[in-house]
Amino acid sequence: MTFVLQPKTEAGERLVCAAKELQTAFASRAAAADQAGEVCRENYDDLIRTGVASAFVPVELGGFGLQSVHDWIVGIVALAKGDGSTAIAINMHLGISRGMAQAHQMAKARGVNTEKIAVPLSKIVSGDMLMCATATEPGTDLHPRTEAVRTNEGWCINGHKIFVTMSPIATHLGMNLRMRDDDGDHLVTTLLPIDTPGLIPQDDWDALGMRASGSQSVVFENAHVPFSAIRKLGPWGQWSVGVLMNRALANLPLVGAFLGIAEAARDIAIEKLATQKRVGEAVADYSGVQHLVGEMEIELAKCQAILGAAASNVDEFLARHEQQQPTMEAAHELMKDYQAAKWVVNRGAIDIVSKAMDLMGGSGYTNSHPLARLYRDVRAGPFMQPFAVTQAREYVGQVTLGKAG
Ligand SMILES: Cc1cc2nc3c(=O)[nH]c(=O)nc-3n(C[C@H](O)[C@H](O)[C@H](O)COP(=O)(O)OP(=O)(O)OC[C@H]3O[C@@H](n4cnc5c(N)ncnc54)[C@H](O)[C@@H]3O)c2cc1C
């Protein structure tokens, strides 16, 4: 098990230890939540109680003080071994909370009063702040059509977001949107309370897999936020360093969820093989079974190795650019590494779960068996953007050839 991802920092160890302790409870609740197609509230109470949801919050404010992206990913792998839906959902929350913790750290380093920035971080610890995140809109990508228009009181938002994971129980929603002013056309971000008038959840999530992720659509009809709630990220419709880093860092940990699902499927198959008999013989003694287990293990090692390396690279990249903004080329390289890891793990995880099902035989195909859920959940991996499967190789080729925009 040399390739299994392990935390590298003390805060990461706390996160992974807490996540592992939740695996059994999450797995025991997963079938009911999947069947109902509903978010399992108890899982999130557990994530808050154990400190997983506040992992990025500084220690002095009650969190673990997590900083390592690598260890964040190891935590997501561990959570997904219990329940994939919950792992992808809390990943969105962790991504936003990481940004808040960084802002706090930077303010502290500059000697600025951090009292105001500490308020939401304390709310994360107490469980009064649980955040979902949305970038996705129908029929568009880098060009959100959801737009903030300036009024006398602040900004007025209109538009439509889809796949807003965890939004049925979140207290806040973080998103990207368009904003035009005298300086140009911008991609901006905002974080607003989920009960903001004009923010209308559509209660329309009914999918093949990740059924307990609560990934419903949300419509915005004249939703108002104050002037201070909008932050510029980059130009609308173009890659920029900010957007490349934002998308790569928030989404690489999601790849961990699909690795965790694959690990769970592999464990189910191996556990069954430890006792499975057929006409008095151990099934594990069949040469065909041994070959298939070998293939599954090699695929798993490949996925673990590339994700572990990509995750470590991110921490090194961030350390290298602590004092200085990365160049566009460097930011594209970061996105390229994420795409390579995503490509290998998303496809490999689907293959591993499928092999585990072949090993399990027909019982794994019945709806009451956890493998049937893992088989459906793991299929969501390639849809997680950026990029679509049909874009990823082109992008990696463009970066390699120095032709990325
Ligand atoms: C379970 C689940 C949870 C999710 N949670 C979230 C979330 O919390 N927040 C969030 O923001 N998003 C979330 N997403 C959305 C996800 O990240 C994708 O953005 C979304 O699935 C894209 O929709 P689509 O597949 O219809 O792609 P589209 O981008 O609409 O593409 C449609 C088709 O066109 C192809 N295509 C698109 N562009 C190109 C191109 N340039 N070149 C070649 N082919 C192209 C694609 O392969 C695809 O077949 C979630 C998705 C899932 C499945």
Q: What is the pLDDT of residues 212-253, one digit of tens each?
A: 999 999 999 999 999 999 999 999 999 999 999 999 999 999
Mark whether 299 and 335 lie in a shared domain.
yes
CB of 134 closer than 6 A to ligand 1? yes
Structural domains of the chain, count: 3
Q: Could you say which of 129, 161, 186 is where a domain stops? A: 129
**Percent of the chain surpassing pLDDT 70:** 100
Mark whether 143 and 108 lie in a shared domain.
no
Q: CATH no. for residue 207?
A: 2.40.110.10
Mark whether 230 and 293 lie in a shared domain.
no
**Minimum-distance ligand 1 atom for the alpha carbon of 166:** 8
CB of 146 closer than 6 A to ligand 1? no
**Minimum-distance ligand 1 atom for the alpha carbon of 380:** 53
Mark whether 214 and 200 lie in a shared domain.
yes
Mark whether 157 and 95 lie in a shared domain.
no
Residue 405 within a domain: no
For ligand 1, atom 25: residue with the closest CA = 383
For ligand 1, atom 30: residue with the closest CA = 139
**Minimum-distance ligand 1 atom for the alpha carbon of 132:** 8
Residue 3 within a domain: no
Mark whether 274 and 363 lie in a shared domain.
yes
Q: Could you say which of 129, 152, 170 is where a domain stops? A: 129
- The answer to whether the pTM exceeds 0.85 is yes
Q: Could you say which of 74, 102, 129 is where a domain stops? A: 129
Mark whether 212 and 358 lie in a shared domain.
no
Mark whether 223 and 101 lie in a shared domain.
no
CB of 380 closer than 6 A to ligand 1? yes
**Percent of the chain surpassing pLDDT 90:** 97
Mark whether 208 and 283 lie in a shared domain.
no
Ligand 1: distance of its center to the CA of 124 in Å? 29
Summarised one tens digit per residue, pLDDT across range 103-161 is: 999 999 999 999 999 999 999 999 999 999 999 999 888 789 999 999 999 999 999 99
Residues paired with residue 147 on neighbouring β-strands, in sequence order:
158, 178
State which residues form the domain around 384. 241-400
Residue 71 within a domain: yes
1 confidence band (pLDDT: 50, 70, 90): low
Ligand 1: distance of its center to the CA of 222 in Å? 26
Mutate to test the pocket of ligand 1, among 134, 136, 172 (most ligand atoms within 8 A of CB): 136
Residue 204 within a domain: yes
Q: CATH no. for residue 247?
A: 1.20.140.10
Residue 4 within a domain: no
Mark whether 167 and 299 lie in a shared domain.
no
